[in-house]
Amino acid sequence: MIKKIIIGVLIAAFAVTGLAYAEDRWYGGIEAGAVALSDFRIVGQDQVGMDDDTDWVYGLTVGREIGTTRVELEYAYRNNKFNTTGVYATGDVNSNSLMINGYYDFKEVHPRIVPFVLAGVGVSRVQGNINGLGSDDDQVLALQVGAGVAYAVSDSVFLDCTYKYFNAENPTFKNIETEYQNHNLMVGLRYMF
């Protein structure tokens, strides 16, 4: 269900960009922030709980703004350490993702403060290093949704504060299917060309 919603939002973003306003600009950006695991577990196994360290996420973006919509290509790196209870395991998991994101900017709210929503689809290479099992990686479909606010420092420079929920579709490590989902709180700098 969520896949259909995200794909629909991206298709709508691409369609609307051709119909939107005359303003048309390219941009590039950097972003960084905190990432916390929402879920990393073996599929079909209930876990009593999970303790994870909040770690860092880094990203680079390039995109095009047309009116109130944006379409961007995003690269992001995420890393987390974890301890589970129930089926006990410790280790770390990281992902390198390449996403196509669609944004809708609510520019009519304020001339300098611009809330936005986003949805993205892409691919993620998820690598797990689980103590006792070793290291393995898998390349899987990735989805994300989010919201945030941008502050226009000038006509060309924007500071972004963004929340993203990221889901990599069931990566498999050592023939064990897992779930990998996390919450990201990021700040970024975007420069419009």
pLDDT tens digits for 88-135?
567 788 999 999 999 999 998 888 999 999 999 999 999 987 776 677
Distance (Å, whole) CA 37 – CA 53: 8
Question: pTM (2 decimals)?
Answer: 0.82
Distance (Å, whole) CA 170 – CA 4: 17
Residue 48 tokens read as 């009593």
Print the domain residue range for 167: 2-192
**pLDDT score recorded for residue 49:** 45
Distance (Å, whole) CA 117 – CA 145: 8
Residue 84, helix vs strand vs coil: strand
Number of structural domains (the chain) is 1
DSSP 154: S
pLDDT tens digits for 21-72?
447 999 999 999 999 887 666 666 655 445 566 899 999 999 999 999 999 9
Q: Could you tell me the CATH number of the domain that includes residue 119? A: 2.40.160.20
